[in-house]
């Protein structure tokens, strides 16, 4: 098929062709990538829980009890006691009436948006929302209106101008490429004025933001004023899967209407047990979040002092803006040659001319690790004339 070859050639010429890197070690501060020991600055395991002893032990214990795989969808033979226990734990963690677990955060967004919206409705979506929200909007027959990133004046205008049976405002809590936090308090106030329903994707906030790590709703003190709280179990919680937390009616509705939930084989009990144990660790070990934020501020200051262009600190995601896609690839390659893995992020993941090195920080990085990273960035930046 010649058109495929032509598309691939175009991607290569535009510096947008993607290739896999092979890991052969844990999601830890130091691991092995493509056979080489690396300092890892690219993991979404913000609290470093992938190797936490109690979480590993919980997963092993579940495998010994239940074996591998779930054997069916949740509505047939795949609903285990551990699934129900985790949903109860998530609801308590998020201070909601109930919760439901999906196989991935992507599937949660697809299932929720498609199940809740119809042709008579409007979805207002932040222009920088995650691809799973964008694709969920594509599956719905509702009209989709895009508002400028975190621009509350633009959102207020659009919500006021557009009439519909139901209005939904959907936003990331922490935006995965810029690392900034949505002004969820202002979004909720705006929604309440206009009778809109609010959904937040807390994938990158769960375990990180809020007094107990419960996410952006807790961070802003909004309690039950956010109607739909979605998140993942695969980032700070170091397992697999996604969830939605909200009212009992919402969860009952999704269990009956969300196709990505109904028609998927359930997550293995071992993954569920690991997530359950991870939430307990998040509650019991607040020092992990303190260590994470200390590391975030230290690395941000170090890279800023070198002269790199960074955004203000709002999350463990620290994008180092390079601009050109080809130059970003070169920076990432040279960092890897210096033993630091931090990948280049290019369009269409980010807007044109905003290619970057997406640095993520973990609670388990030591100061020596971060100093090594700063030294590598300084060496590469100087070599390439960036700083």
Please check whether residue 306 lies inside any domain of the structure: yes
Are 341 and 273 found together in one domain? no
pLDDT score recorded for residue 1: 84
| Residue of 130, 227, 235, 365 marked catalytic | 235
| Residue of 52, 130, 204, 300 marked catalytic | 204
Question: Which two tokens mark 259?
Answer: 């196709």
Find the domain containing 330 and state its range.
Answer: 17-46+286-383
Please check whether residue 187 lies inside any domain of the structure: yes
Q: How far is CA 230 from CA 97, 216, 238, 328, in A?
A: 14, 11, 16, 32
Asked whether the beta carbons of 152 and 186 are under 8 A apart, the reply is yes
Are 124 and 272 found together in one domain? yes
Listing DSSP states for 156-214 in one string gives: HHHHHH---S-EEEEEESB-TTT--B--HHHHHHHHHHHT-EEEEE-TTTTTTSSTTS-
Pairwise CA distance, residues 192 & 209, whole Å: 23
Are 184 and 169 found together in one domain? yes
Question: Which two tokens mark 287?
Answer: 């020092």
Q: Give Cα 35 to chain centroid, integer Å.
A: 27
Strand partners, 76: none
pLDDT score recorded for residue 374: 98
Question: Residue 125's domain is classified under what CATH number?
Answer: 3.40.640.10
Question: Catalytic site residue 235?
Answer: yes
Buried b or exposed e, range 119-139, using 16+ CB within 10 angstroms: eebbbbbbebbbebbbebbeb
Are 361 and 267 found together in one domain? no
Are 279 and 323 found together in one domain? no
The torsion angle over the Cα atoms of residues 189, 193, 197 and 201, rounded to 10 degrees, is -20
Residues 6+ apart with CB under 8 A from 288: 47, 48, 49, 281, 282, 363
The torsion angle over the Cα atoms of residues 328, 333, 334 and 340, rounded to 10 degrees, is 100
Please check whether residue 274 lies inside any domain of the structure: yes
Pairwise CA distance, residues 356 & 318, whole Å: 10
pLDDT score recorded for residue 16: 86
Are 198 and 91 found together in one domain? yes
DSSP H helical ranges for the chain: 2-13, 53-66, 81-94, 105-116, 131-139, 152-161, 184-194, 216-219, 248-257, 259-262, 269-284, 287-306, 325-337, 367-383
Are 276 and 351 found together in one domain? no
Q: Which of 359, 355, 358, 360 is nearest to 322 (CA)?
A: 355
pLDDT score recorded for residue 74: 97
What's the predicted TM-score (pTM) here? 0.95
Residues 6+ apart with CB under 8 A from 301: none
Strand partners, 30: 39
| Residue of 43, 176, 260, 354 marked catalytic | 176
Asked whether the beta carbons of 45 and 235 are under 8 A apart, the reply is yes
Asked whether the beta carbons of 145 and 124 are under 8 A apart, the reply is yes
Please check whether residue 244 lies inside any domain of the structure: yes
Are 34 and 79 found together in one domain? no
Task: Give the chain's domain count.
Answer: 2
Question: Catalytic site residue 283?
Answer: no
Phi-psi region of 175 (alpha: psi -120 to 50; beta: other; left: phi over 0): beta
Final residue belonging to a domain, choices 268, 284, 300: 284
Are 22 and 97 found together in one domain? no
Final residue belonging to a domain, choices 284, 306, 323: 284
pLDDT, one tens digit for every residue, the chain (387 residues): 889 999 999 999 988 898 898 999 999 999 999 999 999 999 999 999 999 999 999 999 999 999 999 999 999 999 999 999 999 999 999 999 999 999 999 999 999 999 999 999 999 999 999 999 999 999 999 999 999 999 999 999 999 999 999 999 999 999 999 999 999 999 999 999 999 999 999 999 999 999 999 999 999 999 889 999 999 999 999 999 999 999 999 999 999 999 999 999 999 999 999 999 999 999 999 999 999 999 999 999 999 999 999 999 999 999 999 999 999 999 999 999 999 999 999 999 899 999 999 999 999 999 999 999 999 999 999 999 999
Please check whether residue 85 lies inside any domain of the structure: yes
Question: Catalytic site residue 130?
Answer: no
Are 63 and 200 found together in one domain? yes
Question: Residue 298's domain is classified under what CATH number?
Answer: 3.90.1150.10
Residues 6+ apart with CB under 8 A from 212: 93, 218, 282, 283, 286
Please check whether residue 192 lies inside any domain of the structure: yes
Report the DSSP pairing between strands 317-323 and 340-341.
unpaired
Are 176 and 258 found together in one domain? yes
Are 280 and 290 found together in one domain? no
Q: Which of 292, 159, 173 is nearest to 232 (CA)?
A: 173
Pairwise CA distance, residues 114 & 109, whole Å: 8
Final residue belonging to a domain, choices 236, 262, 284: 284
Q: Which of 350, 378, 381, 299 is nearest to 127 (CA)?
A: 350
Please check whether residue 12 lies inside any domain of the structure: no
Residue 37 buriedness (CB in 10 A; 0-12 / 13-18 / 19+) = exposed
Pairwise CA distance, residues 47 & 365, whole Å: 10
Please check whether residue 135 lies inside any domain of the structure: yes
DSSP 36: E
């Amino acid at each position: 098929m010649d058109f495929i070859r032509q598309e691939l050639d175009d991607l290569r010429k535009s510096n947008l062709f993607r290739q896999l890197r092979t890991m052969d070690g844990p999601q830890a501060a130091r691991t092995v990538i493509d056979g080489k020991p690396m300092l890892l600055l690219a993991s979404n395991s913000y609290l470093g829980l992938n190797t936490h002893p109690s979480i590993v032990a919980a997963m092993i214990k579940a495998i010994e009890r239940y074996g591998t795989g779930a054997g069916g969808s949740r509505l047939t033979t795949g609903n285990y006691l551990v699934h129900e226990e985790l949903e109860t734990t998530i609801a308590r963690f998020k201070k909601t009436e109930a919760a439901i677990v999906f196989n991935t955060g992507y599937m949660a967004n697809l299932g929720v948006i498609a199940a809740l919206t119809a042709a008579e409705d409007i979805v207002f979506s932040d222009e920088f929302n995650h691809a799973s929200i964008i694709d969920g909007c594509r599956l719905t027959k509702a009209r989709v209106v895009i508002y400028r990133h975190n621009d509350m004046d633009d959102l207020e205008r659009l919500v006021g101008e557009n009439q519909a049976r139901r209005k939904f405002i959907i936003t990331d809590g922490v935006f995965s490429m810029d690392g900034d936090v949505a002004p969820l308090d202002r979004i909720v106030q705006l929604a309440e004025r206009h009778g809109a329903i609010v959904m937040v994707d807390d994938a990158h906030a769960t375990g990180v933001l809020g007094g107990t790590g419960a996410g952006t709703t807790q961070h802003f003190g909004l309690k039950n004023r956010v109607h739909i709280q979605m998140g993942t179990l695969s980032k700070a919680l170091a397992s697999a899967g996604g969830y939605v937390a909200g009212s009992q009616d919402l969860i009952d509705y999704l269990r009956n209407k969300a196709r990505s939930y109904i028609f998927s084989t359930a997550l293995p009990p071992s993954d569920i047990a690991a997530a359950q144990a991870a939430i307990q660790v998040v509650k019991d070990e607040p020092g992990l979040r303190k260590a994470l934020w200390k590391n975030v501020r230290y690395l941000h200051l170090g890279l800023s002092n070198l002269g790199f262009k960074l955004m203000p600190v709002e999350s463990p995601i620290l994008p180092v803006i390079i601009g050109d896609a080809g130059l970003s690839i070169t920076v990432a390659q040279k960092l890897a040659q210096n033993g630091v893995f931090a990948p280049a992020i290019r369009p269409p993941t980010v807007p044109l001319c905003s290619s970057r090195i997406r640095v993520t920080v973990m609670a388990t990085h030591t100061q020596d690790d971060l100093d090594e990273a700063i030294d590598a960035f300084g060496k590469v930046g100087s070599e390439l004339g960036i700083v």
